[in-house]
Amino acid sequence: MSSAATYVLGLSAFYHDSAACLLRDGVIVAAAQEERFTRVKGDAAFPAHAVDYCLRTAGITTRDLAYVGFYDKPLLKFERILETYLATAPRGFGSLLRAGPLWLKDKLFTDRNLRSALPGYEGDILYSEHHESHAASAFFPSPFEEAAILTIDGVGEWATSACAMGRGNDFEIVQELHWPDSLGLLYSAFTYFTGFKVNSGEYKVMGLAPYGEPKYVDVILNELLSLREDGSFTMNQQYFNYLTGLTMTNDAFARLFGGPPRVPESKLTQREMDLARSVQVVCEEIMMRMARTLHRETGARNLCLAGGVALNCVANGRLLREGPFERLWIQPAAGDAGGALGVAQLIWHRTCAKPRRVECDSDGMQGAYLGPGFSPEAIAEFLQAQGASFERLEREALLERVASLLANEKVVGWFDGRMEFGPRALGSRSILGDPRSPRMQAQMNIKIKFREGFRPFAPSVLRERAAEYFELTSDSPYMLLVAPVKRERQIPMTASQRALWGIEQLNVPRSDIPAVTHIDYSARVQTVSRETNANYYDLIAEFERQTGCAVLVNTSFNVRGEPIVCTPGDAYTCFMRTHIDYLVLGPFLLDKTTQPPWTETEAWREQFQLD
């Protein structure tokens, strides 16, 4: 190990989606979410496993760290909680009683707890504000020398969104929206009300939206919000319960929208679809106004995005198509996990005063392939210990065989290279299928993911072929942009099909790649380049050679409620528990029909909390 290298460890923890990120001389060595190791979705615990992984990858110990950074300021956050209680007393006493012991036990003593969890580290622990960490994660790895920055989420300490301007080695926050007015919490309120889990089910609301009509938009804008032209707004707290209670909405909210919240797992009705569509329309309008204001005030040509709301790829796609900025870059780990990356980079550029290295044709995220990888020897050792049936193939033979299986509508688990950082599977921990099959979406949703049938799947497309399939003017390597399918590929609906109700529209093919075309003719696109993932790129290229189609269905390698698989053991278990037909583990191919009997009962599903 070179003593000249400077190592910075960034951490996010204690709220949701804990993570660790390690920089060596400003370059990301490793980054991962704790949930991938513990198998607890959104794990909020100190990221001990993620830290251990990062240090092992670099071949160092805590004694070699120059700095440790934490992604927000717990004392400021506690100040906000206390002030909220004092402003709403005595109504907020129940929520204070619930939160108080956690603060008194852990969160007020973050410094002590971090040092205890990092034995041997004797340097400084530095803290950044929550939205500073988000802004840093958005700007510093971006391919822009200058850019406006927009961060939007539920809440950090006081800020719920921030506007900033980045130039060269630093950025400045120029405006913030503060608690309790929050676009993230507004969206989460509708997530809760439509029967999904807050902080993980928001993407379901986004996926459900095209099935509904925007019939509640005026109600939201007239009753719930006072929206200003610059994108700032005030929320009418008489309809919400997150200030003083343990739920997101209250009885007044229920009366406004025609009845109580949907019971989780109960049948979806047209009301939920219309609510989803309406809040999505409002979310997009607010983001568009914020972006226009930021553009007017900064004159910037480029925009960087982070924060949980930046995972709303429908809104991102609209920003790209209709917004004032020429180019967009979105942090792939846009939620709290990305805060670990942001605070580490803040320390490197601001505290250490080190310059950025900007390459206009690529970013600093290395394709987001920053998690653990496994050697063929390690995989073979696992498979032999498992008693699994497998064959090892040379690279070209493997790609040819897997492409052929996919062309014959087989579903393939694809485990190759380093795990992705962030919520999207990008071709390292993915389940793959044939996008041309009209049966593929229902088959993968119900038989493999064990999830709601309405949820769309994403296409992975060769970067240079994307414009042949989608109305997309930029790269989308992190699956964070929704774009329309090319009009010439669309299949118009007949009058009888248009008359179908809500979910009944699901099985109507919309294009010649129906498995990845949502009911509004859109798709959440991942563009794949050979520079960042050669094996995945070449698999899609081989599939194109065999079929003429340069697209694959790509969904995350997990079942509903489970974190994306991390290890060969996780992948094999998921393979055997589901109706995945074949599994690729590095150079090894496994056929489900030749595996030893799997004796586990269906009780395993109970270990994953539904989202």
Q: Any bridge partners for residue 165, and if so which?
A: 148, 172
With a CB cutoff of 8 Å and minimum separation 6, the contacts of 328 are 302, 303, 304, 305, 316, 319, 320, 474, 481
Question: Residue 301 has which token pair?
Answer: 């040509």
Cα separation, 572 vs 389, in Å, equals: 11
Residue type, 26: G
Quick one: 380 exposed, middle or buried, by C-beta within 10 A (0-12, 13-18, 19+)?
Answer: middle
Match 């991102």 to its residue by tokens: 316
Pick left, alpha or beta for residue 502 (phi over 0 → left; psi -120 to 50 → alpha; otherwise beta). left
Residue type, 591: D
Nearest 5°: the CA angle 333, 457, 434 is 125
- Torsion angle in degrees (nearest 10) through CA of 120, 124, 128, 130: 20
CB 306 within 8 A of CB 137: yes
User: What DSSP assignment string belongs to 40-59?
Assistant: -TT--S--HHHHHHHHHHHT
pLDDT at 496: 73
CB 311 within 8 A of CB 335: yes
**Farthest CA pair distance, the chain:** 71
Q: How many CB atoms lie within 10 A of CB 351?
A: 15
For the beta sheet containing 588-591, the strands, ordered from the edge strand earlier in sequence to the opposite edge, are 391-392, 588-591, 582-585, 412-415, 429-433, 551-556, 458-462, 522-528, 481-484
pLDDT at 530: 96
pLDDT in tens, 557-588: 999 889 999 999 999 999 999 999 999 999 99
**409-445 in b/e burial notation, b at 16+ Cβ within 10 A?**
ebbbbbbbbbbbbbbbbbbbbbbbbbbbbeebbebbb
Q: How many CB atoms lie within 10 A of CB 325?
A: 21
Return the CATH architecture of domain 178-329. 2-Layer Sandwich (3.30)
Cα separation, 379 vs 569, in Å, equals: 9
pLDDT at 2: 46
Handedness of CA 419, 361, 316, 483 (dihedral sign): negative
Q: Any bridge partners for residue 378, and if so which?
A: none
Handedness of CA 481, 486, 490, 492 (dihedral sign): positive
- Regions of the chain where pLDDT drops below 50: 1-2
- H/E stretch holding 86: helix 74-88
CB 189 within 8 A of CB 240: yes
Fold of 7-141+331-368: Nucleotidyltransferase; domain 5 (3.30.420)
**All CATH 3.30.420.40 domain ranges in the chain, comma separated:** 7-141+331-368, 178-329
What does residue 341 show for φ and ψ, rounded to 5 degrees? -65, -45
Cα separation, 189 vs 155, in Å, equals: 13
Handedness of CA 563, 568, 574, 577 (dihedral sign): negative
Residue from 198, 189, 187 nearest 287 by CA = 187
CB 43 within 8 A of CB 34: yes
Quick one: 293 exposed, middle or buried, by C-beta within 10 A (0-12, 13-18, 19+)?
Answer: buried
CATH number of 376-607: 3.90.870.20
pLDDT at 1: 42
pLDDT in tens, 227-280: 999 999 999 999 998 877 778 899 999 999 999 999 998 999 999 999 999 999
